[in-house]
Chains A and B, each alone.
Chain A
Amino acid sequence: MVSTLERPSLVTQVESAIVMSSVIEAAAVVDHVSKVFIQRPLLRRGQSKEVRAVDDVSFTVGRNEIFGVLGANGSGKSTLIRMLSTLLIPDSGRVEVFGYDVRRDEAEVKRLINRVSVEASFFKKLSPGENLAYALRLYGRSGSAVRDETYAVLERLGIARDKVGEPLEQLSRGMQQKVAIARALLTSPVLLLLDEPTTGLDPRSKLDVQRFVRELREGHDATILLCTHDMAEAEALCDRVAILEKGRLAALDTVTGLKQRYGAEIGTDDPSLEEIFIHLTGRSLEDDVEGEHE
């Protein structure tokens, strides 16, 4: 018998969010958002340094959309993701997830989101099974049924049962990233925030992750915000792409729309996304910006 005080199942949550989604078509709203970091030397002489990580950025991510954010290191992608994840408070502007304000309605937002970042971020000595058991308990999921589901998802991601009990540090980076994907999948987020999830993965693992991103959108009615360096990945997955440069929004459109808009300026009918990026930012995605706060 389930207590009336007990949290409703994740299915109920997802259903609830779907009901919300049918009313609110915007899964995420970023409205004139800015974030400045001040790096002040502690107990040392010297001037403090101000880094404008996100500068008056606005966009809306539609429900069930895969929305790409392209930018070099230091362009503000991770800062944006961390604001949507409730890990960072914006200095100004409004950030909402399915109508919930990340500052005012933090608890509600947390129930709707999950994130996969460039680093797998697990307890390294613990096994995938132990790490996932911990993560899922935090989302109110435990028990033998959840354990079976965990095994099933890991197997679908190509992680055999005999690997589930091994310390995570003994798995390859690709495997670790798949466990991170499994963590996100098993918590059924309505908005999934992917921060360069395939960086450093081998081509096959990249394709596996991309397949699961599509499955998550189609099978779980999830909305996905994908920050990536990978132009081919953005082109293959994203319905729309935003290009960030030094914290500012340089462009926002579908890939086709961007090509139509900037093709003439670049001097070709069918420019690649990379050419458009270089045209807009003056540099390639591989260029790093030293010392910027991400």
Chain B
Amino acid sequence: MSQSLPPAVRTLPGAGIWWETRASLAFVERNLYLVRRYWHLELAFLIFNVASAMSVLYIGKAQMQAGGTSSEGRVDLVLYLGIGTVVWAYLRAVFSNVGEMVAWERWEGTIEYTMMAPISRLAHMLGVSLFSIIYGLARSALLLGVLALFFSVDLRNANLGGAAVILLVGSLSFLGFGIMAAVLPLLFPERGEEMTFVISSILLLVSGVYYPISVLPDWMEPLATISPATYVLEGMRAALLDGTPTMALGPSILPILILGALTVPLGIAVFGWGERYAKRTGRLKRSG
């Protein structure tokens, strides 16, 4: 603001935390509208997810039958794979929704209007993250509900509270990864979305969704240690399969907390840098 202006006109009313939080709900409301309008796509993806998950679980069931193990062991393998499937469905939904926040708007042609709206980027991300968690939970609950109809699982010894804590903490680090991935379509308008897809595919491969990471080649295992999904899945399996008490889940919770504490601020910083770069180079356009 020009130095010559009187102080009374130097500032406009500030937005404030409460205003920003309320404005961030715009993204939740908008995405709920979009889910309703694209219901046929949502249904198709849900059927695909259910079919994929059931195929994996039947592979596990067949494997156990072929191996002739006890019925207890059979349930454990189905549950092991079931946990991987449902947790990955949740984490991927969180990651994808946040990671595609720029790509989706660029495709729709609304990116410039969202970026020039008087809402802070932090509130923007808060709204998108909130929707991602709601959406991920709803999708995973539906998936879990359908799987429960076909596979009997024994959760009598499970520590459900501990599993919820792991999932909640794990969401943070996935949000951080998602925010970092979201910058890619800003930097590479034509390729960014594909890169986001590649990142989620690599996370699926190295995080032990369907198998222990010990079966991975040696060179691939270090990647598992930086994937938050590895610790989320370890923790979830410990809580649900073994009934490990919440206080004893520390070895899983601590790395996720550290990753979350690193990736969320890093993601926000990287996104801010990416946005400034896009504004300098003219990449913040409605279409690639």
A residues with a Cβ closer than 8 A to B are 3, 5-8, 12-13, 16-17, 19-20, 23-24, 35, 37-38, 42, 53, 79, 82, 85-89, 96, 99-101, 104-105, 107-108, 110-115, 117, 119, 121-126, 130, 133-135, 137-140, 142, 167, 293
Query: Any chain A CB within 8 A of the CB of B150?
Result: no
- Contacts A13-B12, A24-B5, A130-B30 hold; do A107 and B17 have CB atoms under 8 A apart? no
Query: Any chain A CB within 8 A of the CB of B67?
Result: no
Query: Any chain A CB within 8 A of the CB of B247?
Result: no
Q: Are B116 and A113 in contact (CB under 8 A)?
A: yes
Q: Are A108 and B279 in contact (CB under 8 A)?
A: no
Query: Any chain A CB within 8 A of the CB of B273?
Result: no
B residues with a Cβ closer than 8 A to A are 1-2, 5-6, 8-19, 22-23, 25-26, 29-30, 33-34, 37-38, 108-110, 112-120, 188, 276, 279-282, 284, 286
The distance in angstroms between the C-alpha atoms of A257 and B23, with both chains bound, is 46
Q: Are A111 and B9 in contact (CB under 8 A)?
A: no
- List of A residues within 8 angstroms of B108 by Cβ: 122-124
Q: Are A138 and B2 in contact (CB under 8 A)?
A: no
- Contacts A123-B110, A137-B23 hold; do A107 and B30 have CB atoms under 8 A apart? no
A-B contact pairs, 28 of them (CB 8 A): A6-B16, A12-B13, A16-B13, A23-B6, A82-B282, A85-B116, A86-B279, A87-B112, A87-B284, A89-B280, A99-B2, A100-B1, A104-B1, A107-B120, A112-B12, A119-B109, A121-B110, A122-B109, A124-B108, A133-B29, A135-B117, A137-B26, A138-B114, A139-B23, A139-B118, A140-B15, A142-B22, A167-B37
Q: Are B115 and A99 in contact (CB under 8 A)?
A: no
Nearest CB on A from B174, distance (A): 25
The distance in angstroms between the C-alpha atoms of A11 and B116, with both chains bound, is 20
Q: Are B38 and A108 in contact (CB under 8 A)?
A: no
Nearest CB on B from A32, distance (A): 16
Nearest CB on A from B193, distance (A): 15
Taking CB as reference atom, which chain A residue is nearest B28?
Answer: A137
Taking CB as reference atom, which chain B residue is nearest A123?
Answer: B108
Which 5 A-B pairs have CB atoms at the shortest separation, nearest pair first?
A137-B26, A7-B19, A138-B117, A110-B118, A5-B16
A16-B12, A82-B282, A96-B2 known, 16 other contacts, Cβ within 8 Å? A7-B14, A13-B13, A16-B13, A17-B12, A111-B118, A121-B112, A122-B108, A126-B37, A133-B29, A133-B30, A137-B22, A137-B23, A137-B25, A138-B23, A138-B26, A138-B117
- List of A residues within 8 angstroms of B29 by Cβ: 133-134, 137
The distance in angstroms between the C-alpha atoms of A86 and B112, with both chains bound, is 10
- Contacts A6-B18, A105-B1 hold; do A121 and B33 have CB atoms under 8 A apart? no
